[in-house]
Amino acid sequence: MKRRKVEIYDTTLRDGTQGEGINYTVRDKLAVAQKLDDLGVSVIEGGWPGSNPRDAAFFEGIRKIRLRSATIAAFGSTVRPGKAPSADANLRALLEAETPVVTIVAKTWDFHVREDLRIELDENLELISKTIAFLKKRVERVILDAEHFFDGFAADGEYALACLRAAADAGVDLLCLCDTRGGSLPAAIGDATRAALALAVPVGIHCHDDSGLAVANSLAAVEAGAVQVQGTINGFGERCGNANLCTLIPDLQLKMNYRCLDPQQLQRLTEVSRFCAELANVELERRLPYVGRAAFAHKGGLHVAAVRKNRATYEHIDPALLGNEQRVLVSDLSGRSNVVSKAEQFGIDVEGRHDELASLLSHLKDLEHSGFQFEGADASFELLMRKNLHPFQRFFKLVGFRVIDEKRSDEGDTGCEATVMIEGPDGVVEHTAAQGNGPVNALDRALRKALTKFYPSIEKLQLHDYKVRVLDGQAGTESRVRVLIESGDGEDRWGTVGVSHNVVEASWQALVDSVVYKLLKDERIGARKPGAARRAKPIRARRGAA
Amino acid sequence: MKRRKVEIYDTTLRDGTQGEGINYTVRDKLAVAQKLDDLGVSVIEGGWPGSNPRDAAFFEGIRKIRLRSATIAAFGSTVRPGKAPSADANLRALLEAETPVVTIVAKTWDFHVREDLRIELDENLELISKTIAFLKKRVERVILDAEHFFDGFAADGEYALACLRAAADAGVDLLCLCDTRGGSLPAAIGDATRAALALAVPVGIHCHDDSGLAVANSLAAVEAGAVQVQGTINGFGERCGNANLCTLIPDLQLKMNYRCLDPQQLQRLTEVSRFCAELANVELERRLPYVGRAAFAHKGGLHVAAVRKNRATYEHIDPALLGNEQRVLVSDLSGRSNVVSKAEQFGIDVEGRHDELASLLSHLKDLEHSGFQFEGADASFELLMRKNLHPFQRFFKLVGFRVIDEKRSDEGDTGCEATVMIEGPDGVVEHTAAQGNGPVNALDRALRKALTKFYPSIEKLQLHDYKVRVLDGQAGTESRVRVLIESGDGEDRWGTVGVSHNVVEASWQALVDSVVYKLLKDERIGARKPGAARRAKPIRARRGAA
């Protein structure tokens, strides 16, 4: 049996940006559109050209970019009461966007027509009809977003359907039914969708997550016969967000046997999810189904032991289908399985090291108790493991550092300078200084400047992210803080952690771990160069700790 | 018609803590249990006494606390193969927990029996039967958590039901059906639940969110006849988390007319949600339905204009039912409505100030463009508004500050000292110094020390949270950073923001805003003392800006 196709309509760039904290520049929007095209969505709604200059600029920019398969939609509302369509600034802006698809939002709930538009019910029908007829003559494909359709259908079903009929009679190509307030339940969604299908125009579904049911409601509509699903990457959107395409697409394709994307494209879903979050500069909820960092993360000792035997015991699906991966977490709920699994991942030999493993586990629990968290700092955990199981020689020793921040007036900027003195191999001391955009940046630069003398590869090290977390809320800026640093060298990325009452001290710990991790990594790669075994060898045991 | 009761079984303290980043101390767990009791849940699953010492300590502690209505459950697994129940350490630990409810997890999926337990199918039935019979003689109420029941029912329905029957015949009080991998769809959940109900024992439901359907699946089971719902506050839990009780309870009670909590208790839901996140020290996803900070937040100008006319236009439910509240966001999608709404909230008179409002909006868009974000910094936004609409006199002027961080060896701690010179009222200069646990803490202390001389109420100011966000990922520690500070004075809490390439400078901006907000607030309260009007008066216009 041929699998039924469901069209994916992405509105991350329009409805998604109504979400708290979601702000894209024009450049961001163009980059997101290209990612969505790579992913293979059918329609990309780029914005509301009549509402702000940024969206208008996006449509100008996207016309110059050749997309592989996606078509671009511009969004706007029905003509203003009393205006002729050709004289309506909003509709004119839509046409100027020159997109093959135009989506028009229209009221379909009598309450909204009365309370928000404050016009007669019949006048609203006319606005819909006039708008669609006007656009149909000028645009390839016209979609109606039937705002509040499900609330409208519950309140006055006849009127809600009359609104759809006005659009259908004017030649609309698709009726997208919106649960704008996100308050409907799946059974009601199914019933109303079936009622709309009686108009013999293809139907789509657009849900919001205010009852935690955006995905379930979208699935209910598809099962009732909807052929288009509107949603956003990561569920970005106003209030509780829109239906999350990163959940909906795998549900439809992997669980319900519909066709949405090519399987190769589906493997980019995790990448696209993180890309859209990165550009919006928001922290992604790690529990997001399918694409979240924790979606396939195992923490409880029993579960880790089971997935080591067979992944399907606690994974409903293979994470590789979405480009995601399994992770084993280390915490005080961890058993030996978690630690052994990590050791394997790091290529650390733990064969027959029962006592060392036990003492490592107990040390780990103490560190976690004092505020360390290794879930986001694999590199620090790897160093901890190596120090306990296969000690290696320290690369350098701190003699001392000093950082000075200074500001000399209300208007002046704050200047910052760090001095660092370290002892490198063979007792050679390097004393240097650097300016920076803050104490940690200055320290980071001075440390790397000093180390580059001994280890030139340090130049490639980059700090990508720097996070500070106050641990005991009540004490304000006196609290203990945990610093997480994400570093990279163009090939890999790694996370390190530091904890202290002093943010500079905590940052220093994380910086040092990052640098030591890089140096160890380079040493291992050196050992792997021509002639060496492909599998990472345990670092040779040397005296002392890093 | 009497509304059917659905029992709420909370497993935040057990299954919830399997989630990444969710770690509670014993004290935290006791505090969470009391909050859950206040909320009115029926059963609180406290932990797995056989698995770690912390959980055992919790059960000892909770016995000494008088709860209003909740009963405590201890969790464990079926007896180990080959062991007599009385000799099984895990079952003994369960009895030692002395709880009125014991919940036993048992395998019901043939694949798991073979792959994970690695025993014969019949032996598993015996383990279930022996365990339940043993406990039923010693514990008031015994619940079976039928692990992987839905996967088991799909794979070998007869065997899955045989597992339930073994427990039913041994006298179990309730069969809780678990979608442990979170991979099932609502229709399958409904069918399997109906099959289990044929055993004539009450049935519960326990779902995970790996397909984004934990809430919908739980609702499907309740509609099929389940009388107990298991879940966690905020959906904390392994991988994608458990069914979120903060969504499920309102859905059941407000949308589907079941009885779960007393309506007064339901109003505490938002507080409980935030409390559990606070103690776990995790950032809550702001889009959480019903209880999230953004659940009733409006950003788009048109939506704000509509909710100002009638809240029901874009809110599916009254946030007060859950103790949550409406928020209006300010961003470059904002129209005049957003700003006017904020002004009203702050008690700032904007009557007839069209030009100033327009210039404020444009200034706001520039600031947002440079990295400011006021969504989490209402106090900074209020100051910005006042400066533009009702300028007030500055309270102090910075002459200069200097901060020194120093570390003199690998092992030594980092010391930190700040000096601050400010000019207060009447040109009086105060020059002072303070040590701190980091540059920002030292600066904060020195600034407040200096200001207390002029404004004694500053002593009450506390910094509750301090967040640093790197804005342009690629530049590492050189990036621009945004600092968000949450402050309080025992009565109110407020957020302020600073942006700079230098984290100390950005922190300074946020600190100064926090202090100025506090001083303005005190001035307004002073103006409201006996005889003054109750409604906040606009601050009197004075020369200069803060």
Q: Do B115 and A313 touch (CB under 8 A)?
A: yes
pLDDT value of residue A353: 85
E runs forming strands in A223-314: 228-231, 297-298
Q: Do B289 and A209 touch (CB under 8 A)?
A: yes
Q: Compute the average pLDDT of residues A366-393.
A: 82
Q: What is the pLDDT of residues A161-171, one digit of tens each?
A: 999 999 999 99
Strand order in the sheet with A481-488: A493-500, A481-488, A462-470, B462-470, B481-488, B493-500
Mapped onto helix, strand or coil, the DSSP state of residue B445 is helix
Residue B77 host element (H or E): strand B71-77
pLDDT above 60 for A324: yes
Angstrom distance (rounded) from CA A203 to CA B349:
48
Q: Compute the average pLDDT of residues B435-443.
A: 87
- Of B16 and A363, which is predicted with more confidence? B16
- Dihedral angle computed from the Cα positions of residues B225, B230, B232 and B234, in that order, rounded to the nearest 10 degrees: -10
Nearest 5°: CA angle at A22, between B330 and B21?
115
pLDDT value of residue A375: 66
Q: What is the DSSP letter of A257?
A: -
| DSSP of A136-149 | HTT-SEEEEEEETH
Give the gap in angstroms from C-alpha B34 to the nearest C-alpha of chain A: 20
pLDDT value of residue A533: 36
Chain centre to alpha carbon of residue B441: 26
Residue B338 host element (H or E): helix B336-346
pLDDT above 60 for A532: no
Angstrom distance (rounded) from CA A29 to CA A44:
11
Which chain A residue shows the shortest CA-CA distance from B480? A437
Say if residue A75 is exposed, middle or buried (CB neighbours under 10 Å; 0-12, 13-18, 19+): buried
Residues in chain A: 546
Say which CATH superfamily domain A397-528 falls into. Alpha-isopropylmalate synthase LeuA, regulatory domain (3.30.160.270)
Angstrom distance (rounded) from CA A188 to CA A179:
11
Between helix A354-369 and helix A336-346 the angle, nearest 10°, is: 100
The CATH fold assigned to B8-280 is TIM Barrel (3.20.20)
Angstrom distance (rounded) from CA A426 to CA A404:
30
Q: Do B409 and A399 touch (CB under 8 A)?
A: yes
pLDDT category of residue A392 using cuts at 50, 70 and 90: confident
Q: Compute the average pLDDT of residues B14-42.
A: 92
Which chain B residue shows the shortest CA-CA distance from A25? B369
Q: Do A115 and B293 touch (CB under 8 A)?
A: no
pLDDT above 90 for A419: yes
Which of A376-390, B79-93, B521-535 is the most confident on average?
B79-93
Q: Compute the average pLDDT of residues A143-164.
A: 98
Q: Do B316 and A397 touch (CB under 8 A)?
A: no
pLDDT category of residue A534 using cuts at 50, 70 and 90: very low
Contacts of A303 (CB under 8 A, 6+ apart): A313, A314, B18, B238
Q: Are A226 and A186 in contact (CB under 8 A)?
A: no
Q: Are A528 and B465 in contact (CB under 8 A)?
A: no
Which chain B residue shows the shortest CA-CA distance from A329? B20
Q: Which of A152-156, A331-335, A489-493, B491-495 has the lowest mean pLDDT?
A: A331-335
pLDDT value of residue B302: 82
> Which chain A residues touch B181 with a CB distance below 8 Å?
314-316
pLDDT above 90 for B222: yes
The residue extents of the domains of chain A are: 8-280, 297-369, 397-528
Q: What is the pLDDT of residues B347-406, one digit of tens each?
A: 888 888 888 888 888 888 778 767 787 766 889 999 998 988 888 888 999 999 999 999
Q: Do B414 and A502 touch (CB under 8 A)?
A: yes
Say if residue B164 is exposed, middle or buried (CB neighbours under 10 Å; 0-12, 13-18, 19+): buried
Q: What is the pLDDT of residues A92-138, one digit of tens each?
A: 999 999 999 999 999 999 999 998 889 999 999 999 999 999 999 99
pLDDT category of residue B420 using cuts at 50, 70 and 90: very high
Which chain B residue shows the shortest CA-CA distance from A325? B239
> Which chain B residues touch A290 with a CB distance below 8 Å?
210
Give the gap in angstroms from C-alpha B137 to the nearest C-alpha of chain A: 28
Q: Are B230 and B204 in contact (CB under 8 A)?
A: yes
pLDDT category of residue B533 using cuts at 50, 70 and 90: very low
pLDDT value of residue A126: 97
Q: Do B240 and A215 touch (CB under 8 A)?
A: no
Angstrom distance (rounded) from CA A275 to CA B398:
41
Q: Do A19 and B294 touch (CB under 8 A)?
A: yes
pLDDT value of residue B323: 95
Angstrom distance (rounded) from CA B205 to CA B193:
8
Nearest CB neighbour to B235, from listed A51, A287, A466: A287
Q: Do B256 and A185 touch (CB under 8 A)?
A: yes
Q: Compute the average pLDDT of residues A397-423.
A: 90
Q: What is the pLDDT of residues B449-483, one digit of tens each?
A: 999 999 999 999 988 777 776 665 444 445 677 88
> Which chain A residues touch B303 with a CB distance below 8 Å?
18, 238
pLDDT category of residue A352 using cuts at 50, 70 and 90: confident
Say if residue B1 is exposed, middle or buried (CB neighbours under 10 Å; 0-12, 13-18, 19+): exposed
Q: Do A111 and B312 touch (CB under 8 A)?
A: yes
- Of A365 and B43, which is predicted with more confidence? B43
> For A18, phi and psi rounded to 5 degrees?
-80, -5
> Which chain A residues touch B407 with a CB distance below 8 Å?
398, 400-402, 504-505, 508
Angstrom distance (rounded) from CA A255 to CA A273:
20
Under 8 Å CB pairs connecting chains A and B tally to 391
Q: Which of A51-55, A148-152, A227-231, B306-310 has the lowest mean pLDDT?
A: A51-55
pLDDT above 80 for B529: no
Nearest to A238 by CA among B297, B240, B379, B398: B297
Q: Do A240 and B288 touch (CB under 8 A)?
A: yes
Best of B254, B283, B361, B437 to mutate (most A CBs within 10 Å, chain A): B437
Mean pLDDT (chain B) is 89
Amino acid at A253: Q
Nearest CB neighbour to A316, from listed B210, B216, B316: B210
